[in-house]
Amino acid sequence: MDLPTPTCYWKVAKINDGQVPISSPDRELDRLIRVAACESRNLVASTCQEVYGLADVIVVDVPLSVKERVVEDHQEVHIESRGFERAVRAVGRHMTEDALVLVETTVPAGTCERVALPILQEQRRKRGLSSRVYLAHAYERVMPGPRYVESIRKFWRSFAGIDERSADRARAFLEAFIETEDFPLCQLADTTSSELAKLLENTYRAVNIALIHEWTLLAEKMNVNLFDVIDGIRVRKGTHDNIRFPGFGVGGYCLTKDSLLAQWASQNLYHADVNLELTLHSLRVNYHMPRHTCDLMTEAADGSLAGKTVTVCGVAYLANVADSRNSPTEYLVRQLQEVGANVLVHDPCITVWQEMPSVEVKKDLDECLRCSHGVVLAVPHTEYVELTAADIGSHDLAFVVDAQNIIDDSMADQLWRSGLRVLGVGKGHWRKRGYQWLTRQRGAAA
């Protein structure tokens, strides 16, 4: 069920025709939608809220929006939850008396107990139904990309119920499609614990990324290869094997906002005097990460990009997906435009850049490189990972900046010897080799 809005109504028709309404490289998703809608006929999409009355289980996955994803003060955090609350209210108006409501939305901790439950109880009382509600929370863990369906079936999930009976029903539902023998479920004490788990899970990653970015800047100044350093640390299995690597930036829907939901809950649902200062600072660091890539490009361009054409390879926030939400490339492109660069953008997965519709997404990479002064590899799409030194070096480029560890040392050396300056995020050892000093005159040092 979705609303008949301009951004949603057409998805209903596509699903009922057996078509996937999103761009996904996972062919299994295509097959499942086609079989369920057209052959088994057990998948039907609708814009009619009355369909809630037909369901034994109602999964709520309505997103919450954040007004500003980068804030200087915890008081500036604002969450827009009216859409979520309207959806829950509609469920309460039409659900059967014993239906299970399973919230998968990432919400401020305490939402099921303090927001959703009272709404459902109020709507049910108006209908003369019992105020007892079967309500649970099980936050989604899904990875966009070629293994989208597998990430739903074959991955660990955490959940909780508003009471034990709700938890039992939630477990039975999740066990129906998750291979729990190999990926057992984790039942938490209550829905607030489950909600907080999702927020902390993504905050842990966000803080880790911000930490490594600080050390990236230091390692580059020390002429150190931070990737090698981290590989050496990761051998400590169980404690350090998931430390992040240097990178370009943080994008997507989750890591850029989920921590803010915890801060909002502290202030608005619990009225607690707890400010997540380290967490909010990490979000600011992550948001501004692409500025470092812009600085590397400026350095490689003799200190100025004004009037020079550069190609940015990658718009999506994640490799091999057609999703540009909160992509760090947007920050980089705006920075490049501010310093006067002429920016060409290429991405094999994105056709129209919804967040920057005035920027044309090119489809011919060779054409972009032919008329560019420099290039930055911003997203590790397969097409970019498979590029050779000849693919890049055959063009009249002055520099290449690797923001995603796509270029190995051998390829960097080939590019440098062919006349390009070569810089990379976290690649301080390239500076030690002098790859940043090469001028357009072959072999001449600056």
Q: What is the pLDDT of residue 74?
A: 87
Say yes or no: 2 and 90 in one domain: no
At residue 373, φ and ψ (nearest 5 deg) are -85, -30
The last residue of one of the domains, among 262, 287, 312, is 287
- pTM for the whole structure: 0.93
Domain ranges, residue 11? 1-47
pLDDT band at 445 (very low <50, low <70, confident <90, very high): very low
Residue 166 domain-assigned (yes or no): yes
Residue 440 domain-assigned (yes or no): no
Say yes or no: 376 and 297 in one domain: yes
Tell me how many domains the chain contains.
4
Average pLDDT for 312-327: 96
H or E, element range at 409: helix 409-417
Say yes or no: 172 and 215 in one domain: no
Q: Is residue 442 predicted with pLDDT exceeding 50?
A: no
Q: What is the pLDDT of residue 22?
A: 87
Q: What is the pLDDT of residue 441?
A: 41
Say yes or no: 259 and 303 in one domain: no
Q: What is the pLDDT of residue 440?
A: 44
Query: Among positive and negative, which fits the CA dihedral 226, 231, 233, 237?
Result: positive
Say yes or no: 283 and 294 in one domain: no
Average pLDDT for 55-73: 93
Average pLDDT for 309-332: 97
Q: What is the pLDDT of residue 23?
A: 86
Give the separation between CA 116 and CA 95, rounded to whole angstroms: 14
Give 442 or 186, the one with higher predicted confidence.
186
Say yes or no: 217 and 300 in one domain: no
Average pLDDT for 133-153: 95
Average pLDDT for 122-150: 95
Burial class (CB in 10 A: 0-12, 13-18, 19+), 270: middle
The DSSP annotation for 108-171 comes to: -TTHIIIIIHHHHHHHHHHTT--S--EEEE-------STTHHHHHHSS--EEEESSHHHHHHHH
Domain of residue 64, CATH code: 3.40.50.720
pLDDT band at 359 (very low <50, low <70, confident <90, very high): very high
Average pLDDT for 42-59: 97
Say yes or no: 251 and 206 in one domain: yes
Residue 330 domain-assigned (yes or no): yes
Q: Is residue 20 predicted with pLDDT exceeding 70?
A: yes
Any idea what the Cα angle at residue 19 is, between residues 152 and 25, rounded to 5°? 50
Say yes or no: 334 and 391 in one domain: yes
Q: What is the pLDDT of residue 7?
A: 85
Torsion, Cα of 267, 268, 270, 271 (10° steps): 50
Say yes or no: 92 and 116 in one domain: yes
Give the separation between CA 322 and CA 324, rounded to whole angstroms: 7
Q: What is the pLDDT of residue 395?
A: 94
Q: Is residue 429 predicted with pLDDT exceeding 60?
A: yes
Q: What is the pLDDT of residue 444?
A: 44
Q: What is the pLDDT of residues 243-287, one digit of tens each?
A: 999 999 999 999 999 999 999 999 999 999 999 999 999 999 999
Q: Is residue 227 predicted with pLDDT exceeding 60?
A: yes
The last residue of one of the domains, among 265, 287, 309, is 287
Say yes or no: 149 and 258 in one domain: no
Say yes or no: 353 and 425 in one domain: yes
Axis-axis angle for helices 277-288, 258-268 (nearest 10): 150
Say yes or no: 293 and 322 in one domain: yes
Q: What is the pLDDT of residues 405-415, one digit of tens each?
A: 999 999 999 99
Q: Specify whether the CB–CB gap between 209 and 283 falls below 8 A.
A: no
Q: Is residue 446 predicted with pLDDT exceeding 80?
A: no
Average pLDDT, the chain: 95
Q: What is the pLDDT of residues 378-400, one digit of tens each?
A: 999 999 999 999 999 999 999 99
The last residue of one of the domains, among 194, 222, 242, is 194
Whole-Å CA distances, 154 to 87, 178, 180: 29, 6, 8
Residue 446 domain-assigned (yes or no): no
Domain of residue 276, CATH code: 1.10.1040.10
Whole-Å CA distances, 1 to 16, 20, 58, 387, 419: 12, 15, 10, 43, 57
Q: Which of 284, 317, 108, 283 is nearest to 205 (CA)?
A: 283
